[in-house]
Amino acid sequence: MTTGFNWDNFSPDLQQNAMYDASNGQTLHMAENAGQKAAAYCLRAKEKVDAQLRKIAELKKVSGFGEGVPLDTGKGVVDQYSTVAANLETALTALSKEYQGFADRFVATEMAVRAVEENNTASLKGRQISIDPHAAGMQ
């Protein structure tokens, strides 16, 4: 997939307005490594979730509720803890995947923005830039 735009597809008025806006610093800009920094926050959160996932194995091994004694109440408590642990594991696994997805998207966005900026720079290389004050509304 190619990212970017063809400057020649813009009308002369749009080109003039874009040049005027750019000359006044009115352009979209992504801070250096912003995607990587945002991804790092997501990955730290993911690691905390993953640490809790590793502890769930212990929740599944609930004991001390009358094992070996034929009482339904003890078995009911153990079954309830097992169900809660399984539901928690499912929810945390999904959350971990979400954090990974967010991190991947932040990095991909940074890469895409960088590619667009490089493409735009290449598209503008060698162009003569002149601003008509009347067309740009700077009278």
pLDDT tens, 41-51? 999 999 999 99
67 belongs to a structural domain: yes
102 belongs to a structural domain: yes
In this model, does residue 60 exceed pLDDT 60? yes
What Å distances lie between residue 38 and 23, 30, 44, 46, 105, CA to CA? 29, 12, 10, 13, 10
85 belongs to a structural domain: yes
Q: Of 95, 81, 82, which Cα lies nearest the Cα of 48?
A: 95
Q: How many domains does the chain have?
A: 1
pTM: 0.62
115 belongs to a structural domain: yes
Domain span including residue 68: 31-124
Half-sphere exposure of 80 (CA within 13 A, CB side): 7
> What pLDDT score does 10 carry?
63
